[in-house]
């Protein structure tokens, strides 16, 4: 067996049945080996390596399994970088395999040689270059183990072309531990004891939950904890869908475009319990006046997150799947009805000042919020919503309803425009039984619009919902609010998206009037296959509430 065949064999050993990629010279032996395994491994040919890697990310998020992505050396490998950086900051398990020029050519500026190991170093959890086929099994075994374990992340294995051709005696063993890497941390019982005391004595405790809950598959443990303690809980963008939207203790979204109550009351709680979240600056605003009054309990699997941005009075290191039940044992049955009422009061204010007009606008102009509202009515919160980046992302996350976990897929930490469409393809392939809706803006869509061809080729039944405001909306909003309405390079003269969709043989519809909206959404969801629905929305609508950048969260603006 040669190195390339070994790679394919390892994919089978790791239960990989679907991969994403794009071929080229330095990875051709692997593609050749894949040819013999088409029945067992489906290869999704994207139309750009960035599309392939975002699809792998979407697949990983929807399925909980690592996404695997193949690319050739040089430009193939560098085209992966945005997605790798996105996966690193959003903790998505990915195994990227890149071809590399022959080992004797390394360092000679050979055709399509780039030092992808150095380039990817700051944005990978781990990476490694293989120059000898005999290293392939151990390197890939480590790659899968590292990508999946602890706080997940992307790894990259760069394999020289000669190593792909080289013969080896194949033997494969899964990697289950590494002496220099401790992904599982045993919980500290004292910290749990102290945290429980703090929680039991708290008058106004508040829970912030992030993606850690989802990555740990600890949604049930989490819910039991909040229900036992009666503590209101708010989510980060990536924590969304870990707790169903309609849960009485779900008080909404944190951060820059989050809900009014969760932001305002972060600065009034007495105990702040952060679960699997990392106090991103989009969540905290100015740290100097962030929750300074509160005692902070921080549960996280990654020791480097503790005290990184917000000082934890009680850090609880470990997998929340393990630590939450320990905490649950020690906390009292309780409720905080008056405190919860404060959130409801804020929600009422926000409803009157922001939400009502967004979901039920009075004028003729369609709003993004009303589109999302009608989608909710017909999906009952069962769809996977994948978004791109911008105003539509914030509206989709604020207003979509979710009844099950792993249902919101978005580029949080990196805010990568172009993420939505390919990630939705991956999500659909990773969760084929679920409805997958890509909600995208006209700007971001055009960054990876070529992936419509991937939909056409794979027949992935992705629903594409374009909220078209003919602007780079989010940037325009900032220009309006903070740069005197000087709309510098944010207005877009767009192509006819209907024609484009048709070119890719995807049924398409455009809605400009409210009267046609509901019917169009019903058709969109009912159609058995990919569908492209474009809704023309208010060109200069804004997303509120908003915490201006640099301000404290309590300075949240409702208009």
Partner 1 sequence: MMINGKQEFTITAYTENHVGLLHRITVVFTKRKINIESLTTSESERDGIHRFTIAVTETEETVSKVVKQIEKQIEVLKADFYKKNEVVQQELALYKIPTKSLTNGIEVERIVRKHNARFLTIEKKFVVIEKAGFRRETKALFDELIPFGIHEFVRSGRIAVAREEFGIGQDVKQLLETTAY
Ligand X SMILES: Cc1ncc(C[n+]2csc(CCOP(=O)(O)OP(=O)(O)O)c2C)c(N)n1
Q: Which residues are catalytic?
A: 49, 111-112, 161, 474
User: Residue 77: what are its φ and ψ, rounded to 5°?
Assistant: -65, -45
| Residue 126 DSSP one-character state | E
Separation CA 254–CA 291 (nearest Å): 13
- Which pair of structure tokens corresponds to residue 317? 């290191």
Tell whether residue 180 is a contact of partner 1 (CB under 8 A).
yes
Region near partner 1 per CB under 8 A, out of 76-84, 174-182, 278-286, 510-518: 174-182
User: Residue 141: what are its φ and ψ, rounded to 5°?
Assistant: -60, -45
Reduced to 3 states, what is the DSSP secondary structure of residue 134? helix
Q: Least distance in Å: CB of 180 to partner 1?
A: 5
Please identify, using beta-carbon distances, which residue of 72 and 469 lies nearer to ligand X.
Answer: 469
Q: Where are the alpha helices (DSSP H) in 233-384?
A: 260-266, 281-284, 320-330, 337-350, 356-359, 368-379
Which of the listed partners (ligand X, partner 1, none) does 441 bind, with a CB threshold of 5 to 8 Å by partner kind? Answer: ligand X
Contacts of 46 (CB under 8 A, 6+ apart): 20, 21, 22, 52, 55, 422, 451, 454
Contacting ligand X within 422-451 (CB under 6 A) = 441-444
Which of the listed partners (partner 1, ligand X, none) does 117 bind, with a CB threshold of 5 to 8 Å by partner kind? Answer: partner 1
Say if CB 454 and CB 55 are below 8 A apart: yes
Q: Least distance in Å: CB of 303 to partner 1?
A: 6
User: Residue 166: what are its φ and ψ, rounded to 5°?
Assistant: -65, 140
Give the residue among 242, 182, 186, 231 at the shortest CA–CA distance from 209. Answer: 242
Please identify, using beta-carbon distances, which residue of 172 and 478 lies nearer to ligand X.
Answer: 478
Please identify, using beta-carbon distances, which residue of 312 and 436 lies nearer to partner 1.
Answer: 312
- Which pair of structure tokens corresponds to residue 54? 């975002």
Tell whether residue 475 is a contact of ligand X (CB under 6 A).
yes
Say if CB 451 and CB 421 are below 8 A apart: yes
Q: Least distance in Å: CB of 313 to ligand X?
A: 35
Which of the listed partners (partner 1, ligand X, none) does 181 bind, with a CB threshold of 5 to 8 Å by partner kind? Answer: partner 1
Q: Least distance in Å: CB of 129 to partner 1?
A: 8
Q: Least distance in Å: CB of 393 to ligand X?
A: 7
Tell whether residue 319 is a contact of ligand X (CB under 6 A).
no
Residue in 67, 83, 412, 473 binding ligand X, rule: CB under 6 A: 473
Contacting partner 1 within 88-147 (CB under 8 A) = 117-118, 121-122, 125-129, 146
| Residue 352 DSSP one-character state | I
Say if CB 67 and CB 59 are below 8 A apart: yes
Which of the listed partners (partner 1, ligand X, none) does 134 bind, with a CB threshold of 5 to 8 Å by partner kind? Answer: none
Q: Least distance in Å: CB of 66 to partner 1?
A: 16
Contacting partner 1 within 283-312 (CB under 8 A) = 302-304, 306-308
Please identify, using beta-carbon distances, which residue of 124 and 468 lies nearer to partner 1.
Answer: 124
Which of the listed partners (ligand X, partner 1, none) does 442 bind, with a CB threshold of 5 to 8 Å by partner kind? Answer: ligand X
Based on its alpha-carbon atoms, the radius of gyration of the chain, rounded to whole angstroms, reads: 24
Size of the site for partner 1 (CB under 8 A): 21
Which of the listed partners (partner 1, ligand X, none) does 380 bind, with a CB threshold of 5 to 8 Å by partner kind? Answer: none
Separation CA 510–CA 464 (nearest Å): 12
Say if CB 222 and CB 324 are below 8 A apart: yes
Say if CB 506 and CB 452 are below 8 A apart: yes
Say if CB 321 and CB 304 are below 8 A apart: no
Size of the site for ligand X (CB under 6 A): 20
Strands across the sheet with 18-21, in order?
Answer: 42-45, 18-21, 67-71, 94-100, 154-160, 126-130
Q: Least distance in Å: CB of 236 to ligand X?
A: 18
Residue in 124, 229, 391, 458 binding ligand X, rule: CB under 6 A: 391
Please identify, using beta-carbon distances, which residue of 41 and 175 lies nearer to partner 1.
Answer: 175
Please identify, using beta-carbon distances, which residue of 76 and 444 lies nearer to ligand X.
Answer: 444
**Class of residue 512 by CB neighbours under 10 A (exposed 0-12, middle 13-18, buried 19+):** middle
∠ CA 272-556-287, rounded to 5°? 50
Which of the listed partners (ligand X, partner 1, none) does 180 bind, with a CB threshold of 5 to 8 Å by partner kind? Answer: partner 1
Please identify, using beta-carbon distances, which residue of 135 and 470 lies nearer to partner 1.
Answer: 135
Tell whether residue 500 is a contact of ligand X (CB under 6 A).
no
Please identify, using beta-carbon distances, which residue of 179 and 486 lies nearer to partner 1.
Answer: 179
Contacts of 467 (CB under 8 A, 6+ apart): 368, 371, 391, 392, 395, 439, 440, 441, 442, 535, 537
| Residue 471 DSSP one-character state | B
Which of the listed partners (ligand X, partner 1, none) does 177 bind, with a CB threshold of 5 to 8 Å by partner kind? Answer: partner 1
Chain positions contacting partner 1, by CB under 8 A? 117-118, 121-122, 125-129, 146, 177-181, 302-304, 306-308
Q: Which residues bind ligand X (CB under 6 A)?
A: 388-392, 415-418, 441-444, 467, 469, 471-475
């Amino acid at each position: 067996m040669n190195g390339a065949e070994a790679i394919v064999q390892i994919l089978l050993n790791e239960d990989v049945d679907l991969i994403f990629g794009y071929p080229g010279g330095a990875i051709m032996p692997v593609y050749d080996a894949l040819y013999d395994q088409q029945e067992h491994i489906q290869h999704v040919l994207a139309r750009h390596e960035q599309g392939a890697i975002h699809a792998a990310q979407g697949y990983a998020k929807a399925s909980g399994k690592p996404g695997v992505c193949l690319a050739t050396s040089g430009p193939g490998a560098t085209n992966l970088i945005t997605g790798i950086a996105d996966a690193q900051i959003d903790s998505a398990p990915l195994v990227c395999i890149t071809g590399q020029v022959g080992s004797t050519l390394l360092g000679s500026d050979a055709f399509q040689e780039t030092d992808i190991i150095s380039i990817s170093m700051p944005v990978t959890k781990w990476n490694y270059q293989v120059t000898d086929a005999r290293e392939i099994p151990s390197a890939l075994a480590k790659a899968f183990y590292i990508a999946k374990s602890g706080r997940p992340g992307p790894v990259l294995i760069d394999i020289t072309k000669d190593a792909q051709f080289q013969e080896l005696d194949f033997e494969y063993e899964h990697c289950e531990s590494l002496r220099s890497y401790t992904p599982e941390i045993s919980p500290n019982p004292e910290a749990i004891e102290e945290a429980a005391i703090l929680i039991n004595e708290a008058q106004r405790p508040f829970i912030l939950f992030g993606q850690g809950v989802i990555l740990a598959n600890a949604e049930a443990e989490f819910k039991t904890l909040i229900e036992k303690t009666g503590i209101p809980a708010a989510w980060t963008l990536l924590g969304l869908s870990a707790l169903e939207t309609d849960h009485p203790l779900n008080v909404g979204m944190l951060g820059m475009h989050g809900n009014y109550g969760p932001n305002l009351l972060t600065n009034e709680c007495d105990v702040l319990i952060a679960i699997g979240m990392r106090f991103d600056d989009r969540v905290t605003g100015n740290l100097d006046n962030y929750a300074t009054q509160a005692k902070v309990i921080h549960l996280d699997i990654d020791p480097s997150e503790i005290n990184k941005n917000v000082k934890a009075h009680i850090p609880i290191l470990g997998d929340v799947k393990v630590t939450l039940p320990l905490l649950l044992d020690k906390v009292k049955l309780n409720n905080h009805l008056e405190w919860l009422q404060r959130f409801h009061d804020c929600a009422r204010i926000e409803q009157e000042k922001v939400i009502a007009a967004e979901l039920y606008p009075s004028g003729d102009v369609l709003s993004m919020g009303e589109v999302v509202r009608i989608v909710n009515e017909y999906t009952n919160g069962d769809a996977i919503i994948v978004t791109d980046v911008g105003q539509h992302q914030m509206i989709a996350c604020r207003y979509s309803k979710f009844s099950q976990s792993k249902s919101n897929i978005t580029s949080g930490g990196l805010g990568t425009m172009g993420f939505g469409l390919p990630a939705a393809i991956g999500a659909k392939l990773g969760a084929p039984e679920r409805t997958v809706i890509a909600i995208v803006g006209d700007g971001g869509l055009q960054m990876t619009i070529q992936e419509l061809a991937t939909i056409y080729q794979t027949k992935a039944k992705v629903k594409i919902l374009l909220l078209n405001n003919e602007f780079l909306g989010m940037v325009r909003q900032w220009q309006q609010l903070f740069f005197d309405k000087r709309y510098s390079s944010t207005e877009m003269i767009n192509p006819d998206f209907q024609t484009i969709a048709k070119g890719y043989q995807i049924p398409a519809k455009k809605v400009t009037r409210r009267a046609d909206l509901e019917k169009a959404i019903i058709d969109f969801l009912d159609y058995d296959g990919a569908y492209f629905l474009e809704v023309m929305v208010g060109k200069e609508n804004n997303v509120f509430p908003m915490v201006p950048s640099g301000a404290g969260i309590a300075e949240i603006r409702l208009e």
